[in-house]
Structure 1
């Protein structure tokens, strides 16, 4: 019985990591096709669009994580009807957010591109992508939220299968639209939107079939208004995790344009695609842990929560150390996947790998820490981890480029990561000790 919780963890985590990696192929495959067929300007264009894309994905993640955590807690309390009401509220919230997101994009996308220092060809390519996203944003929201809901319905394998279907669709359409028809970033955006549409429709459709534990009918589609703030509160730190990344990408783009050139934005884009692989593994581990920690929190099993946190944290951090080592041993091999003809672009990206990513494994630590706090309904601490990541990086990004130019831009991120991780380690250590004390006193309380 001792190992049962670890088996459950891997049962959830392996398909979740696989799903995240496959889902990440939407971005990475776009990057490979853009880098090879459009070049450095195309990579810079997609990277300038990414902060807006990331913010939309963050909204989808907020609804997915918040809804999923509350559904799991209700299931832990053996309240099936309550879980179903929360699920329908989450799905309808996604639909309600679509016009708000599309309108904001329509009015402000081009201003945001200009702010990042993009002009000329880079500006045109970036706008190509965002014009499609305005129309397809509901599928962007759905494709990131639905897998969370499937996993919380005890269907992690189905979530993975859907991600595979979406990724294969994306790869095939990328080839047709970018490599064959030469539609540049318009083609990349249409390919991604259609793939996300497939995932969203099939995923939502599953909940209306007999295979769903929380089976829905059209009459169930009602909003439970008092649940909406709870979904947003729990999921807000996930939104800020994406929003933080988006703001940091935008700031880096602006600084690289200011201190260097559009080519450096392209190099930063390649680096972003490469490290996406590790981020997705870390997020997959954290998201695989989430329903189990939420369930055990609902059933007040502190010992299992402690074990889940330990195995998730160890997997994310050790995986990060291995990834950093591989990137530094084989940097040219990693970069050449995206572009093997522009030597200046390749060399700039390798410099970025050496300077920007040596503390990457600490991001895995921070992602798991934030997910743990979300899972036990401590949204404020989860938000502290996420917002802290952004706030602590800002002074480094302000000071380091002034002192060291482009090198200062590259090293600001790892230095700020080290500083924040020391603070979060202290906070998490105190909470784990408290959890251990609760676990030790529970049997004596029950006995009395």
Structure 2
């Protein structure tokens, strides 16, 4: 896994290059996902099953604010990749400076407002009954660290855009390992309960921020900026915003989906159903790590080669990424269909939760083998700077299909209808993405390649 420079993105064989980009990204996502899983197991066993539900309630708010950093990172990184491919380093540097300014402005502002309206937001996201108090404790501490998390998410994407996947992997490993260590100290040794769980997460991202700051100050980074590049440029901010909005919209929809599903399940089955969804949600983050890793590895390669007008390589990386991701997704699918009971017992000893979760998990992951095409297809349009189709395809899965279905299907199937909505929306969104991706390749990539 030798490190890759930005120039190598346009020269190395696609299969080899995708592996070099995707493996570190996959490892980073795997460790982060394991961290979330183990963190949930620690909380469930050392604090209680209600604490799992409390953390799940807080996730939509903290995810959305942290997603601001990710959105700025992904949007700016698309510009940086294409600028480096076109040998326009000045634009890459200006973009990075603007990313830093935007991240600071937005994350601090939203964290402040999130703290001001804490008593309103928590019940709105399903933090009711016995869940409210532990959710409030966790929420307030997590929001203190959200600006730091925003910088971590932004910086990680920029590192990957430079063609430095191993350093991006390290930036993901550090908070994951740190969180588990801090969990043990704060929860098990010092017995700080929910406060300990929250400070463990916040502290781990502070350590990751220190690493990312070191990376950009060292000789490992090609992006050496000065204070003049922090001044916002209208054209660059507009492009970051249009592309980053795709990521922000996706994360916002994830937050809204958590809110809606938490409340719907609470109405059907109370705290037990909310906890079952929390476990399934953790598994969604965990088991799809190879697919997400390939998607992240794919983006800078597609963006760089599109900027360099090497359309044959863009076409090749699309096909290769879909093939690899589909194969890995199919392997994951087989494991989930056979062992959901074992997985559920990792998280809790609550008999009601153990009885309810496995069948729901099977439904939620029923369409995983075909999901790679939808993720890669939406990521392609974002990588090459086509914000509108990227936004629409990103929203098809949850906003356009899942949310309406989760209200329609329970009319006929009760609580089961919410879980059936997961695979049905996956299938429909994949069909739509396949159509638009095929059309893009035929009308744009092939025609430009001929020219």
Q: TM-score range by the shorter chain?
A: over 0.9
Q: Deviations over 1:49-74 (max 9, x none)?
A: 11112212321211110111111111
| 2:359 is aligned with 1:359 | no
Query: What residue in structure 1 maps to residue 4 of structure 2?
Result: none
Post-superposition CA distance 1:384-407 (Å, at most 9, x none): 012222122222111112221111
Q: What corresponds to 2:131 in structure 1?
A: 122
Q: Which residue of 2 is the match for residue 58 of structure 1? A: 67
Tell me the alpha carbon deviations over residues 63-97 of structure 1, each in whole angstroms, 9 at most, x when there is no partner.
Answer: 11011111111111111122111111111211111
Compared CA separation, residues 436 and 148, structure 1 to 2 (3 A): closer
Structure 1 segment 185-334 matched on structure 2, within 5 A: 185-218=194-227, 220-334=229-343
**What is the 5 A alignment of 1:84-233?**
84-218=93-227, 220-233=229-242
Query: TM-score, normalising length from structure 1?
Result: 0.93
Q: CA deviation at 1:276?
A: 0.7
- CA separation in 1, counterparts of 2:119 and 2:424? 32
Cα 1:223/1:409, change in 2 over 3 Å: same
CA change 1:181–1:363 in 2 (3 A) is farther
Q: Quote the Cα distance in structure 2 between the aligned partners of 1:8 and 1:316.
A: 15
- The answer to whether the Cα contact below 8 Å between 1:61 and 1:238 also exists between their aligned partners in 2 is yes
Q: Is the 8 A contact 1:58 1:241 kept in 2?
A: no
Runs of 4+ aligned structure 1 residues displaced above 6 Å come to none
Partner of 1:380: 388
Offset at 1:284? 1.9
Q: In structure 2, what is the equivalent of residue 83 of structure 1?
A: 92
Q: Which residue is 1:350 aligned to?
A: 358
Q: Please give the secondary structure, in 1, of the residue aligned with 2:234.
A: coil
Structure 1 position 157, deviation (Å)? 0.8
Which 10-residue stretch deviates more, 231-240 or 206-215?
Answer: 206-215
The structural deviation recorded for 1:308 is 0.6
Partners of 2:406 and 2:336 in 1: how far apart?
23
Q: 1:65 and 1:236 mapped to 2: Cα distance? A: 9
Structure 2 residue corresponding to 1:337, chosen from 328, 346, 353:
346
Alpha-carbon displacement from aligned partner over 1:330-364 (angstroms, at most 9, x marks no partner)? 1122222222x222211211121122221133443
Deviates more, 1:276-285 or 1:86-95: 276-285
Deviation at 1:439, TM superposition (A): 5.2
| CA gap 1:24/1:145 in 2 versus in 1, 3 angstroms | farther
Q: Could you tell me whether the CA contact under 8 Å between 2:73 and 2:99 is conserved in 1?
A: yes
Structure 1 residue 151: Cα displacement: 1.3
CA contact (8 A) 2:66 2:147 kept: no
- Equivalent-residue separation in structure 1 for 2:156 and 2:354 (angstroms): 35
Instruction: Give the SS at the match of 1:337.
Output: helix
Question: Secondary structure, in 3 states, of the residue corresponding to 2:217?
Answer: coil
Structure 1 unaligned residues grouped into runs of 5+: 443-448
- In the TM superposition, residue 173 of structure 1 has moved relative to its aligned partner by 0.2
The 1:375–1:400 alpha-carbon spacing in structure 2 relative to 1, beyond 3 Å, is: same
Q: Is the 8 A contact 2:337 2:362 kept in 1?
A: yes
**Is 1:19 equivalent to 2:16 in the alignment?**
no
In terms of mean alpha carbon deviation, does 208-217 or 289-298 score higher? Answer: 208-217
CA RMSD of aligned residues (A): 1.9
Equivalenced residue count is: 441
The correspondence for 1:48, drawn from 53, 57, 65, is 57
**1:72 is the counterpart of 2:81:** yes
Give the whole-Å Cα distance in 2 for the aligned partners of 1:158 and 1:111.
39
Q: Partner of 2:127: helix, strand, or coil? A: coil
Q: How many Å apart are 1:217 and its aligned residue?
A: 4.4
Query: Any conservation in 1 of the 2:290–2:329 contact (CA below 8 Å)?
Result: no
Contact 1:26-1:192 at 8 Å conserved across structures: no
Contact 1:139 1:197 in 2 (8 A): yes
Q: CA deviation at 1:219?
A: 5.7
Describe the SS at the equivalent of 1:78. coil
Distance change (3 Å), C-alpha of 1:149 and 1:437: closer
C-alpha contact (below 8 Å) 1:40/1:345 kept by paired residues: no
Q: Distance in 2 between matches of 1:165 and 1:116?
A: 30
Q: State whether residues 276 and 353 of structure 2, in contact with CA within 8 Å, keep that contact through their aligned partners in structure 1.
A: yes
